[in-house]
Structure 1
Amino acid sequence: MTETLQRVCDGGVLILRLDRPVANALIPEMRAALVAAMDEAAGDAACRAVVIAGAGAGFSAGLDLSEDMAAPCSPTPAGLCRAVASCPKPVVAALHGEVAGAGLSLALAAQGRVTHAGARLSLPEIALAGMPGAGITQRLPRLIGAQAALEIMLSGRVVRADEARLRPLFDKVEEDTAQVGPAARVLALRLADAGPDPARYEPRRGLSDPRAYQRAVAAVRARLEGAGGAAADVLRAVEAAQLLPLAQGLDFEEVCAADRARSREARALRHLKLAEGRARALPEMRTAPPRAVARVGLAGPVPAALAERLEAAGVALAGDDPAEPADLWIEVTPGAAPAGPMRVTLDAGAGFGADGVWLCLWPDAGLAEIGVGPGADASTVAALARLMARARLAVVRAALPAAAPGAGRLLTGALNIAALALVHAGLDPGEVDRGALALGLAEGPCLAMDREGLDTVQARLSALAPRIGLPPPSSEGPLAARIARGARGRAVGRGFYEHPPEGPRAGRGDAGAGLPHGVGAAEALHAALVNTAEWMLAEGVLARPGDADLVAMAALGMARERGGPLFAADDRGLLAVLRDMKALAPLSAPLWAPRPGITARIREGQGYFRHTAAVSRA
């Protein structure tokens, strides 16, 4: 029927094997093929039962992140599970390897389940501000009770199928993976011989102790302390599983899951997860032969966080002795490591060079920015990217020489220059910083500049601004004026803020005319970040819009639930951002005059991440 689904008839049992790289994700085509197979099995007198299994290393990792779960294609995951659950022929799931998200929903919709003892079950939706759907919140607690079901759904952790609390999920647990399929076929025929069993279509064993169920729900409610979000939605759905018949509980879950999928937080987190996956596919990884890195040399004062991550990933460290053998050297100062092995230069704070392979770490944000110069050794780039993935760091590729300061520093510099322009226009530093916090930034730029020291900021921005076509701090601007008065930052107690022991107090802005009507500090800073990100894309500093959002998370400390400046531009409507830019351009054309790529996207009806009507929203 389709390349995503293998079909074999074996003695009256239709065996359906999910077969799609990567990880048998339940894409719309596969869901449609499964629904059609259920219909065919129902109408085929020779078919007595159905077994659903997974080809390759696992059963199914669930849904493809690239699918818009706020408006999933038909058949939806819930529709697929309804088709499986309502099939008049018994359906048995044969599980091994990874069984995650909608993959577990599919397994629970079947009337029977056989699993390998080492199968790994998980419901990762909560980590992306989503809630498990397609029947999970109703069927799982009905099978194993509220306490175990809530622990699995709210933790998102992987659990092994042979855990005692999961025993009620399975008809049989096999120690040998090769025996799972045959055992599932035997069970399917046995269920066909026995005839329909209502307990399999609407299980209630997890509801057998109503008071224990209610205590588990109450304990989680007390822990949440009235907080909303995905966890509260999951709790309400699990509570409904005890109060409503299964059909009505499934309807309730579907409404809650759809609302949750449409939430800004869930969309933003899914966007960043998808962006991380796409950014990881560096072009060098497609062209260079894989080179194993088992031992890494660290030359110079390499941050302890990097060494800790590498050791946790099972990488041996050679220390800083050039005489010790290593597959790859990471050096703080170019030339410190041996000439023979693969070499990477670690940015120690001054930015990248113009060529070679450079590494900038944002360990708190879990990001590694890899600077790649013209003619850089592709094998070194690919090996470094794989090494960073082993160290559980997302990767963004920045092209040199345009990205010589580092993409994160370019974006930070633009934010600082925009903040100075707003202070010069008459906003007080506190108002500018509140605008930054409203965007989801961890710290306001004026307070951050005070912390860095205004002399240092002046030198940094003077060197960086010309690289992105922005004006450097002028001799008459906010920085120079404060430095001239001795207000050099937090170290001396005065900068943009006064810094008494009880905490910073914002000072006044310059005697400017203020911002255009209807544009606030948050909108102005956002417009500057979007314009700078567009410049980076046009100049080839970054390859994808999602890369800019990942860099913003790391360099600016932007909250992940905001999705990044370009996601936020799509979400608000790119035309609205364009209007702000045009209104702000008289304050500083280099900062806010719209880049050609922005007007082109609007003209073509495109956002940064999808074709969307949002570009025309006011």
Structure 2
Amino acid sequence: MSAENAVVTTAREGRVLVVTINNPPVNALSQAVRQGLADAVAQAQGDGEIKAVLLVGSGKAFIAGADIREFGKPAMPPSLPDVLMQLESSDKLVIAAIHGPALGGGLEVALSCHYRLAVSGAKLGLPEVQLGLLPGAGGTQRTPRLIGVKAALDLMLSGRHAGAEEALAMGLVDQVAPAGTDARSAGLAYANQLLDDKAPVRRTREAAALADKAAAQAELDAAKAESAKKNRGLFSPGKIIECVQGALDLPFDEGMKNERKLFVQCLESPQRAGLIHAFFAERETAKIPEAKAAAPRALNTIGVVGGGTMGAGITVAALDAGFPVVMVERDDESIARGRANVEKVYDGLIAKGRMTAEKKAAIMARYSGSTDYAALAQVDLVIEAVFEEMGVKKAVFAELDKVCKGGAVIATNTSYLDIDAIAASISRPQDVIGLHFFSPANIMKLLEIVVPAKVSADVVATAFELAKRMKKIPVRAGVCDGFIGNRILAVYREAANYLMEDGASPYQIDEAVREFGYPMGPFQVADLAGGDIGWATRKRKAATRDPKARYVQIADRIAEKGWFGQKTQRGYYLYPQGARIGQQDPEVLAIVDAERQRAGVTPRSFTNEEIMRRYMAAMVNEGANVVREGIALRPLDVDVTFLYGYGFPRFRGGPMKWADMVGLDKILADIREFAKEDALFWKPSPLLVELVEKGENFESLNKAV
């Protein structure tokens, strides 16, 4: 047996050498693990008594992938592809017994074994695409040979995890052991059975799922067309498809060389930097000062006030996280509608075959509705999700102040309003926090946790605990109009309005923003959200607007006609018969023309690139102000807000990471250039100026918590 403190240990069990990977927490494939695997194979080869090798992971995982601590560092031998060739080439049976995650390089290890057993509950996947990479240790070559082009590309292009039973059905594993089975014992039994049956060595590289070349090519062509639509602008999906084409066209060794070449191209792609940043940033946002200072309060039951779209979405998110939920509405009709809104989500899942009626019934058993605030007397946390108007919110808070037990967390789901003012209106401001969910709240990952001045640290910690249990990505925000996301949105939306009045059509602006990688442009988003919402906000802010600031009235003209977007079948676009995709509207262009004339603007043309320079400069500049004022703790919090709440293209890492990659000096030069036209709007953020003068970037501020 090798040294007990080693990350890979070996033990003789009769004819089987059991090789255990013990590299907590997830048995990542560090250099020591790779060396340990190579040594174990050599040990088995040199011992005539050993007839089979069994690979198992200790703890909760088989192998959950590469060691992220090695990212960006020079590669240390032995390389994983070399170790796996050694494993696969063994003339003794090699068996993987998989429990928990077998992801990325972990699944590639399993694929190079001759037989695979998975314990029910295991998760198998090749998620490299999410980091801008492709499976680089033979995953693109062995997977299609084993399970065919379609299933292999589905795993690699989505990055999703397949359960043990699905893996068995697709041929990724050979046997499934019941949940809770010890992987080592099940693996040993399987290894001995294979030896008794005189099972042959079966190398995945020789598997025959690509034997029908014409059928495989047809599947590949279909996936190529689908991916071109779905992964527009992304680099690594195309390279994964090229690798699989190589698996089809080339001998295995040539296919491996092709995979390595394309893997290196992915490593060097600028998209990789953005995706890696996004990967780490979303794990950093939960690191907040309050979590160090206090533990969360008890969190077992949730109340929700309001059963509209947002209230129902929050209720579903809480039910899905396992909480009992009490919903309060103003009358019986509203509470019936609130319940129906919740059930509609689950009925949709049942219709798609993603949930059973029994599962829905079990979830709804934790839901109760009431028209009496007293029903909230015992909840640990209550979220108000009523109309976005200060008087309405304060009235709800007055009721909650009366009925909620001492120590209950009282949260508001406002998008803009002053939470300090809401907190000050009741007797326990220390218990009040903002929980800004994004619609639909049961699907959107972002949760802006807005921290008012008087709140207790343990309330903030409780909000982050709620986010974790709801599987949300939390971002800590300070109190200001719009917090992080909507405050920055207001500024770049204004930049889009100026571009429209200056000569770009709303349709060209949307096209430029989509080309950049967003799923939708700002005018499409306005139509989706509802033009009446923005109109109400503009009227609310009219009294405090700087009279010297430029104000574009095009949106007001459209709203005055009652064209509020998709819900009224027209806004900036036409939506005939409730269509989801809008058509361009000549009447809107006529309104734009008339407004240009009224404002005395001579229209000029812009390229898509010029549109994006202004759009992004406005976003980054206001992002810098938000960081400078402490509304966001770090630039990465701005990035995560935009990645998860506003459709910012993930491969660009977020607006602040994008700015670092472009160069802050270039962005500052643009802002100064644009300021010649409008010095009030294009005022460089003092933080941006300071960073450029010091030769630093936003990344340098990400360590500061």
For the aligned pair, the TM-score class normalised by the smaller chain equals 0.7 to 0.9
- Tell me which residue corresponds to 2:162: 159
Evaluate the alpha carbon distance shift between residue 8 and residue 67 of structure 1 in structure 2; reply closer, same or farther with a 3 A threshold: closer
Alpha-carbon displacement from aligned partner over 1:350-390 (angstroms, at most 9, x marks no partner):
42412631111113443111101234233333333232333
Q: CA deviation at 1:397?
A: 0.9
Find 1:489's aligned residue among 558, 578, 588: 558
Q: Distance in 2 between matches of 1:295 and 1:187?
A: 45
Contact 1:119 1:161 (C-alpha < 8 Å) held by counterparts: yes
- Which segment drifts farther, 576-585 or 9-18? 9-18
- Tell me which residue corresponds to 2:9: 7
- Tell me which residue corresponds to 2:382: 329
- Which segment drifts farther, 293-302 or 125-134? 125-134
- Tell me which residue corresponds to 1:18: 22
Matches within 5 A, 1:46-445: 51-63=54-66, 68=71, 73-75=75-77, 77-78=80-81, 81-82=84-85, 84-85=87-88, 92-126=95-129, 130-163=133-166, 165=168, 170=173, 173-175=176-178, 179-182=182-185, 184=187, 199-200=202-203, 202-207=205-210, 210-211=211-212, 214-222=214-222, 224-225=224-225, 227-228=227-228, 230-260=236-266, 262-263=268-269, 267-300=273-306, 303=310, 304-320=312-328, 321-324=372-375, 325-332=378-385, 333=393, 334-337=397-400, 338-340=403-405, 341-354=407-420, 356-364=432-440, 365-400=444-479, 403=480, 405-419=482-496, 426-427=502-503, 430=506, 436=513, 439-440=516-517, 442-444=520-522
Q: Distance in 2 between matches of 1:353 and 1:133?
A: 49
Evaluate the alpha carbon distance shift between residue 226 and residue 556 of structure 1 in structure 2; reply closer, same or farther with a 3 A threshold: closer
**Aligned residue identity for 1:327:** D
Evaluate the alpha carbon distance shift between residue 191 and residue 384 of structure 1 in structure 2; reply closer, same or farther with a 3 A threshold: same
Gaps of 5+ in 2: 329-371, 386-392, 424-431, 565-570, 575-583
Q: Distance in 1 between matches of 2:551 and 2:500?
A: 7
Q: Distance in 2 between matches of 1:173 and 1:434?
A: 49
- Which segment drifts farther, 348-357 or 79-88? 79-88
Contact 1:581 1:593 (C-alpha < 8 Å) held by counterparts: yes
Q: Distance in 2 between matches of 1:149 and 1:436?
A: 32
Q: Distance in 2 between matches of 1:56 and 1:306?
A: 35
Evaluate the alpha carbon distance shift between residue 144 and residue 446 of structure 1 in structure 2; reply closer, same or farther with a 3 A threshold: closer
- Tell me which residue corresponds to 1:451: 531
Evaluate the alpha carbon distance shift between residue 457 and residue 118 of structure 1 in structure 2; reply closer, same or farther with a 3 A threshold: closer
Q: Distance in 1 between matches of 2:100 and 2:525?
A: 50
Tell me, what secondary structure is at the counterpart of 1:335? helix
Q: CA deviation at 1:299?
A: 2.2
Q: CA deviation at 1:295?
A: 2.1
- Which segment drifts farther, 294-303 or 150-159? 150-159
Evaluate the alpha carbon distance shift between residue 5 and residue 590 of structure 1 in structure 2; reply closer, same or farther with a 3 A threshold: farther
Evaluate the alpha carbon distance shift between residue 349 and residue 476 of structure 1 in structure 2; reply closer, same or farther with a 3 A threshold: closer
**Aligned residue identity for 1:351:** L
Alpha-carbon displacement from aligned partner over 1:33-57 (angstroms, at most 9, x marks no partner):
4225525763795796765432221
Q: Distance in 2 between matches of 1:222 and 1:393?
A: 34
- Which segment drifts farther, 311-320 or 78-87? 78-87
Contact 2:66 2:104 (C-alpha < 8 Å) held by counterparts: yes
Evaluate the alpha carbon distance shift between residue 46 and residue 462 of structure 1 in structure 2; reply closer, same or farther with a 3 A threshold: farther
- Which segment drifts farther, 304-313 or 96-105? 304-313
Q: CA deviation at 1:187?
A: 7.5
Alpha-carbon displacement from aligned partner over 1:426-460 (angstroms, at most 9, x marks no partner):
45564766655555553336994993588645445
- Tell me which residue corresponds to 1:467: none
Q: CA deviation at 1:74?
A: 3.7
**Aligned residue identity for 1:376:** V
**Aligned residue identity for 1:60:** I
Contact 2:104 2:125 (C-alpha < 8 Å) held by counterparts: yes
**Aligned residue identity for 1:277:** R
Evaluate the alpha carbon distance shift between residue 447 and residue 187 of structure 1 in structure 2; reply closer, same or farther with a 3 A threshold: closer
Q: Distance in 1 between matches of 2:470 and 2:55?
A: 35
Evaluate the alpha carbon distance shift between residue 145 and residue 539 of structure 1 in structure 2; reply closer, same or farther with a 3 A threshold: same
**Aligned residue identity for 1:410:** R
Evaluate the alpha carbon distance shift between residue 454 and residue 165 of structure 1 in structure 2; reply closer, same or farther with a 3 A threshold: closer
Q: Distance in 1 between matches of 2:195 and 2:535?
A: 80
Alignment RMSD (CA, Å): 4.5
**Aligned residue identity for 2:219:** A
Contact 1:342 1:380 (C-alpha < 8 Å) held by counterparts: no
TM-score computed with the length of structure 1 as normaliser: 0.78
- Which segment drifts farther, 505-514 or 95-104? 505-514
Q: CA deviation at 1:122?
A: 2.0
Evaluate the alpha carbon distance shift between residue 297 and residue 493 of structure 1 in structure 2; reply closer, same or farther with a 3 A threshold: closer
Contact 1:53 1:93 (C-alpha < 8 Å) held by counterparts: yes
Q: Distance in 1 between matches of 2:563 and 2:154?
A: 50
Tell me, what secondary structure is at the counterpart of 1:241? helix
Q: CA deviation at 1:313?
A: 2.9
Contact 1:422 1:521 (C-alpha < 8 Å) held by counterparts: yes
Q: CA deviation at 1:96?
A: 0.9
Contact 2:272 2:651 (C-alpha < 8 Å) held by counterparts: yes
- Tell me which residue corresponds to 1:616: none
Q: Distance in 1 between matches of 2:600 and 2:680?
A: 20
1:31 correspondence with 2:31: yes
Q: Distance in 1 between matches of 2:687 and 2:512?
A: 25
Q: Distance in 1 between matches of 2:226 and 2:305?
A: 51
Q: CA deviation at 1:256?
A: 2.9
**Aligned residue identity for 2:58:** A
Evaluate the alpha carbon distance shift between residue 336 and residue 281 of structure 1 in structure 2; reply closer, same or farther with a 3 A threshold: farther
Tell me, what secondary structure is at the counterpart of 2:203? helix
Q: Distance in 1 between matches of 2:59 and 2:148?
A: 32
Q: CA deviation at 1:81?
A: 3.6
Gaps of 5+ in 1: 465-471, 612-618
TM-score computed with the length of structure 2 as normaliser: 0.70
Alpha-carbon displacement from aligned partner over 1:102-129 (angstroms, at most 9, x marks no partner):
2101222334544324422122345566
Evaluate the alpha carbon distance shift between residue 446 and residue 237 of structure 1 in structure 2; reply closer, same or farther with a 3 A threshold: closer
Contact 1:94 1:115 (C-alpha < 8 Å) held by counterparts: yes
| Count of aligned pairs between the two proteins | 589
Tell me, what secondary structure is at the counterpart of 1:318? strand
Tell me, what secondary structure is at the counterpart of 1:363? coil
Q: Distance in 2 between matches of 1:376 and 1:330?
A: 15
Evaluate the alpha carbon distance shift between residue 525 and residue 241 of structure 1 in structure 2; reply closer, same or farther with a 3 A threshold: closer
- Which segment drifts farther, 118-127 or 524-533? 118-127
**Aligned residue identity for 2:487:** L
**Aligned residue identity for 1:149:** A
Alpha-carbon displacement from aligned partner over 1:400-449 (angstroms, at most 9, x marks no partner):
4xx3532222112222444466578x455647666555555533369949
Tell me, what secondary structure is at the counterpart of 2:448? strand
Task: Among all aligned residue pairs of Structure 1 and Structure 2, give the percentage whose two residues are the same amino acid.
Answer: 26
Q: Distance in 2 between matches of 1:255 and 1:99?
A: 25
Evaluate the alpha carbon distance shift between residue 352 and residue 132 of structure 1 in structure 2; reply closer, same or farther with a 3 A threshold: farther
Q: CA deviation at 1:548?
A: 0.7
